[in-house]
Structure 1
Amino acid sequence: MTDTNLFFISDTFVEEDHMTDSKRFAYKNPKPRCGGNLKTRWNYTEPAYRMAPHVWNVGGQDDVSAYLLDSGEGLILIDTGYEDTLYLLIDHIWRIGYDPADIKKILLTHYHGDHSQGARLIQEMAGGKENCEIWLSEADEINHQRTKDETVPMEVLPYEVTNFYDPQEPIMLGRFVIRTRLTPGHTWGATSFFFDDTDEETGKTYHCAMHGGLGTAMMKPGTQRMEHELMTPEGAFRFIRDCLELAEMDVDINLPSHLNQANLDENLPEDLNDYTWFVNDYSWHDMLVNRAEEVMSYYPEIYPDLVRTIPTLK
């Protein structure tokens, strides 16, 4: 089957055959998944798999990613997933040969519980805040404190943010130099990460990127989600601009924060250690353009001539 790009023109579409058969990763509308079915979370498990030379997705379920980075001088964990699936994350870290107690930094993309629920427990397992830092943006620390006593959609164990992101100061540990950028929209403090990872066996270096939050419901005018996030149309317009700008970056490996953002769970390699399966020049670009166009569709008075160029898989 040949992949095609769908260019929508009024009520019809035309197909452009410039995509290749290897274009397997694309944004897909979320299916029933772990986050909506935590009482039967064992039905939504995923294995650990390697996504870059020293990066593994150890989240353990089909919803939220949690990336383990081996810096050579300690481990970094980007997002923690749900408290109810923490047993899977810990199991996966052990299975790929690492000790969760060696996690030195927990980097949270944003404050929502599906990304932060495990932060306190992992920090305690790693020796407390003296040995394991928890990072968040200053904007989302405000949101964290504002919502810390809420129990809907989920309760989050108390955790203390030890470090704030600074776009002028990269996060450094061992082989990794991680640069951050504030990318509001999903939340006001959603933060994206950019770093290189080198395969010592081949000598190849890969540009890796993870966007801090691509859910768009909270940017849709008149919704409770928008009200709860204190989001504004100006925040939505910034999200659009940021996505379109970042889409032009040279990224070799896209690390989506939710698996559906690149349809990962339906496209895992047979060899779960083969990170080269995820190397491509389109996934990052297409994911961000797709999300920008989705938010643009919420504001037809601002974007009356919107033509969707990157379709969403159904």
Structure 2
Amino acid sequence: MTTVTQAVRSSTSPDAPKRAGRVRSETSRAPSAYYWMVWPAVIAFAAFHTLPVIVSIFFSFTNYPGYGAWNFVGLSNYINLFKDERILQAYGFSFLFAVFATILTNVISLAVALGLNAKIRAREFWRGVYFVPYVLAILVIGYVFQFFFSNSLPKILSGIPLFADNILTNETWAWTAIVALAVWQACAFSIIIYLAGLQTIPAELYEAAALDGAKPWRQFRSITFPLISAFFTINVVLSLKGFLQVFDPIVALTNGGPGTSTESVTLLIFRGGFSGGEFAYQAANAVIFFIVITVVSLFQFRVLQRREADF
């Protein structure tokens, strides 16, 4: 009883608020070890990301070719970008590629994830198998695909005019080979995301729906997809952002050819900026591309998250 009384008196004393604030500040203050773990990452991010971005923005207002002297040219680089047919063609190709690859990746990944989430034998083994493409070097696999498209496929499908010759040399259809390679690798990561979402759905919902007579398609439309819509949003945003920046599959398969028919924005920035004497011009292109990707991603989040709320 005495202990309780003392506790009550100490809590009502004039110094109680000060002691309480001191206790809160001590408990809320993170140990110094946490700061030593965070600061190296912050410094590295600033040195290898933020600083190069600032330098690129600065040089985008100059005529710097990547070497030698330079002068300020104001907004000339940005104005010329919208008059350059090669730039516009690269943006058109990048968006066409990204839209098709994003749709295929999410349709295939969701279908595979639904199959893996079902009660099948060696389910964990197949999860590992489907994740293998994500850990492989894309350039190495790209050269394997290049041999397949240029040598094996014409022999296997010699009776089909489109595949009788090397499809990588076809100016109209070469981009489909790049889509095949990019989707094949991207599906590995998307499948894992969808599997994580499917595992959050209680099995009781499907049992109740089955008792009510709901068919598999009805269950998918009314239960599965609404409950994994957040995971769908993540996959679509990441897929489109990644495919807009496609680089490695193009280098491995076509190197931007035939001509410039499969030249993406990132490949054009790399070529012109580092080996074409257009450092400042392509720096301006990179700034515009960054803005485009940011706007597209924010628009996707706004639209898709609104759909989540509707569910």
- Give TM-score scaled by structure 1 length: 0.22
Which structure carries more helix by proportion?
Answer: 2
TM-score, normalisation: structure 2: 0.22
Choose between structure 1 and 2 for higher RCO, CA contacts under 8 A separated by at least 6 residues: 2
